[in-house]
Amino acid sequence: MTEDAIYYWHKLWRALHKVELRLMGTPEAQAKLKEMNEQDERERPKRVKEMRELALKEKLQNEQLKGEDYDHDHK
């Protein structure tokens, strides 16, 4: 699996686990859900930074590919 696939698999698993905890409705499940939500809030700035860096990297790659296509088409 690629790094992106692993990231999205983990994200999906966490979302499903949160739904399961909500459906359980026990005090223990509610405490675990609260803990997971707090962890997500603490990690949010890090994830936002990572997503911005990834978007910039993809934008630069796309611009580079467009330049290569232009060079190839106009030779």
pTM of full prediction above 0.85: no
Say how many Å lie between the first and final Cα of the chain, rounded.
38
| 25 inside domain | yes
How many domains, in total, are found in the chain?
Answer: 1
Tell me if 10 is assigned to some domain. no
C-alpha–C-alpha distance, residues 55 and 29, integer Å: 36
Q: How far is residue 58 from each of residues 61, 62, 71, measured CA to CA in Å?
A: 5, 6, 20
Residue with the bigger pLDDT between 31 and 65: it is 31
Domain that holds residue 40: 21-73
Distance CA 35, CA 40 (A): 9
Q: State the average pLDDT over residues 16-22.
A: 96
Confidence of residue 72 (pLDDT cuts 50, 70, 90): low
